[in-house]
Amino acid sequence: MIRIAITGIESTGKTTLAAALSVAIGAEVAAEAARNDTRVRAGIIGVADLERLAREQLEACHGAERRAIESGSKTVISDSDSTVIRWWGRWVFDAEVPGLIHLEKWADFTLLCAPNIPWEADPLRTLPDPVDRKRLHQCYAEDLQARRAHPWALIDGLTQEKRLEQSVRAVQSFQNFSALNE
């Protein structure tokens, strides 16, 4: 089974991409745990909540794996990852979030969505400033680069269609590379 994480700062099309990519490649999706969390929606979240959300995201990933086995799919996509939670802790709370290692190790391949599409207001979004968005995106990219053995691809198309095309190509390249190294 191939496990793909989609990461990126807020309003970079992660959820839209996860849904479209799952259809394109026949994958099961683990929805972002934070999206419907009552504490997140109420704006009363702390570092302990981020640690809990990491556990819940990993549980969602395992649930998607079970659905993939039942449906015969060989691919699972997570609509969030440890990078999101790590940088949420660092950016908002200036703190390290403990307990991310299992979620970080879950993904075989990561797609990093660039912040080059328009920011869309949402009750859970707080980062409309383009300068801040670019700075935080760079932190995500450096975080992924620091995980030397972990493959990832930048998704920076300017439309949803281009992002999907890039993602499908990146996943296919990863699958081909993985098959050669088995």
Is 41 a domain residue? Answer: yes
Q: What is the pTM of this model?
A: 0.95
What pLDDT does residue 128 have? Answer: 92
Question: Is the pLDDT score of 125 beyond 90?
Answer: no
For the chain, how many structural domains are there in total? 1
Residue 44, pLDDT score: 93
**pLDDT of 12-21, one tens digit each?**
999 999 999 9
Answer whether 64's CB lies under 8 Å from 29's CB: yes
* pLDDT surpasses 80 at 179: no
Whether 178 shows a pLDDT value over 90: the answer reads no
pLDDT at position 138, please? 98
Tell whether 84 is covered by a domain. Answer: yes
Residue 181's pLDDT is what? 67
What domain range includes position 144?
A: 2-168
d(CA 61, CA 131): 32
Given this model, what pLDDT does residue 180 score?
A: 66
Check whether 40 has a pLDDT greater than 80.
Answer: yes
Q: Does 179 fall in a domain?
A: no
Asked if the structure places residue 78 within a domain, the reply is yes
Q: Is pLDDT above 70 for 182?
A: no
Residue 97 makes CB contacts below 8 A (sequence gap 6+) with 47, 50, 51, 54, 85, 86, 88, 89
Identify the residue with better confidence: 124 or 41: 41
Residue 108 belongs to a domain with what CATH number?
Answer: 3.40.50.300
